[in-house]
């Protein structure tokens, strides 16, 4: 009988008791997830019900696969090369660069890794981690993470593009593989690493449709540790509810807008959507030291992570909730779009810092 990977969660603080019970029943433990008082276990589906009967078990969920949310769009006719991409201009970042450029703020890119040799990213790269293979560097073998990182904080030193916060530290947390896929447990490990390593802003340009107690616990722990959490709402175009983790409390859920100040047709809205940001035909860094345009709420979330870095460099004492409130209160509503499509609207950094 084939085995399936599960996340087995104890009641809060009961992780040691759960470990003893799992060992006594000879359950195969793949790894511990201390941040969420849980374990990754491998067992036949028929044994799941038996696990639920253990006194220390609060919840058992499958170790689902999550995907990054972004798509390559090429160099569409509406996008001309500009070292300051239209999205960076639209949120007002250049207007505040004399005041703040994100210096001293570490932004975790929980994604497919980063092109560690990209000339526009090199000055801002901070040592990260490869969750999939801790002995290897967090090199991007997909492209999504490199694109997201450039939107947050490309430095333009390679003659390419500049990001929203061009002096913020970019910390690659590689949990997604070359297909843009990750186990839920790898994402939880990535969040745990961000907490342990005192990341200030965590960009999560990925999503899943199913709720997860493990993900909720990890997000809650990160929020309580003072990390500003930003996530993409999804690209299915529905306006009923964002995906997870964008839908979770303590996370800024970001939809996508276009160069025409319209909500992108693919942008997921509804419950969990807080803001929109540029996400259609976005020019940023890519593999092999190149630049490329991509579209998605992934790109939109990266703009807001950059904005958060600018704000925290300006006022480092702010809590995550205070950062959220500033961005929402200073947002500019898009004409003709309902709140279910755009949340509070488009953030404007100059208004935030005014």
> Would you name the residues annotated as active-site residues?
111, 144, 298
Token pair for residue 131? 């969750």
Q: Contact 311/319 with Cβ under 8 angstroms?
A: no
Closest CA to 314 of 346, 350, 343: 350
Task: Report the C-alpha gap between 88 and 24 in whole angstroms.
Answer: 56
Rg (the chain; Cα; Å)? 20
Q: Contact 330/182 with Cβ under 8 angstroms?
A: no
Residue 208 has, within 13 A of its CA and on its CB side, a CA count of 20
Alpha-helix runs per DSSP H in the chain: 15-24, 48-52, 86-90, 93-96, 144-153, 184-196, 213-224, 297-314, 320-329, 339-342, 349-353
Token pair for residue 251? 């996370």
Q: Contact 128/173 with Cβ under 8 angstroms?
A: yes
Q: Which helix (H) or strand (E) is 251 found in, with range?
A: strand 251-257
User: Angle at which helices 144-153 and 297-314 pack, to 10 degrees?
Assistant: 40
């Amino acid at each position: 009988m084939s085995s399936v990977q599960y996340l087995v969660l104890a009641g809060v603080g009961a992780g040691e008791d759960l470990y003893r019970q799992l060992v006594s029943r000879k359950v195969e433990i793949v790894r511990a997830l201390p941040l969420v008082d849980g374990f990754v276990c491998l067992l036949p589906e028929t044994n799941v019900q038996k696990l639920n009967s253990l006194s220390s078990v609060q919840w058992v969920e499958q170790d689902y696969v999550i995907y990054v949310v972004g798509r390559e769009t090429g160099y569409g006719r509406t996008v001309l090369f500009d070292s300051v991409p239209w999205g960076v201009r639209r949120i007002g970042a250049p207007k505040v660069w004399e005041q703040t450029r994100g210096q001293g703020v570490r932004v975790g890119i929980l994604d497919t890794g980063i092109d560690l040799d990209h000339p526009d990213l090199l000055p801002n790269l901070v040592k990260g981690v490869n969750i999939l293979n801790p002995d290897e560097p967090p090199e991007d073998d997909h492209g999504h993470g490199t694109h997201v990182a450039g939107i947050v904080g490309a430095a333009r030193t390679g003659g390419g593009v500049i990001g929203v916060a061009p002096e913020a530290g970019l910390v690659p947390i590689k949990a997604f593989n070359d297909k843009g896929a990750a186990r839920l447990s790898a994402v939880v490990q990535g969040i745990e690493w961000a907490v342990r390593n005192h990341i200030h802003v965590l960009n999560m340009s990925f999503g899943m449709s199913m709720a997860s107690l493990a993900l909720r616990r990890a997000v809650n722990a990160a929020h309580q540790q003072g990390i500003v959490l930003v996530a993409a709402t999804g690209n299915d175009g529905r306006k009923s509810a964002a995906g997870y983790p964008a839908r979770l409390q303590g996370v800024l859920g970001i939809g996508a807008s276009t160069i025409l100040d319209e909500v992108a047709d693919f942008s997921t809205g509804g419950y969990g959507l807080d803001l929109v940001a540029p996400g259609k035909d976005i020019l940023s860094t890519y593999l092999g030291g190149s630049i490329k345009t991509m579209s998605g709420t992934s790109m939109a979330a990266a703009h807001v992570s950059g904005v958060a870095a600018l704000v925290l460099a300006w006022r480092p004492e702010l809590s995550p909730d205070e950062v959220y409130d500033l961005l929402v209160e200073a947002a500019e509503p898009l004409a003709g779009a309902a709140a279910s499509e755009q949340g509070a609207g488009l953030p404007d950094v100059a208004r935030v810092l005014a």
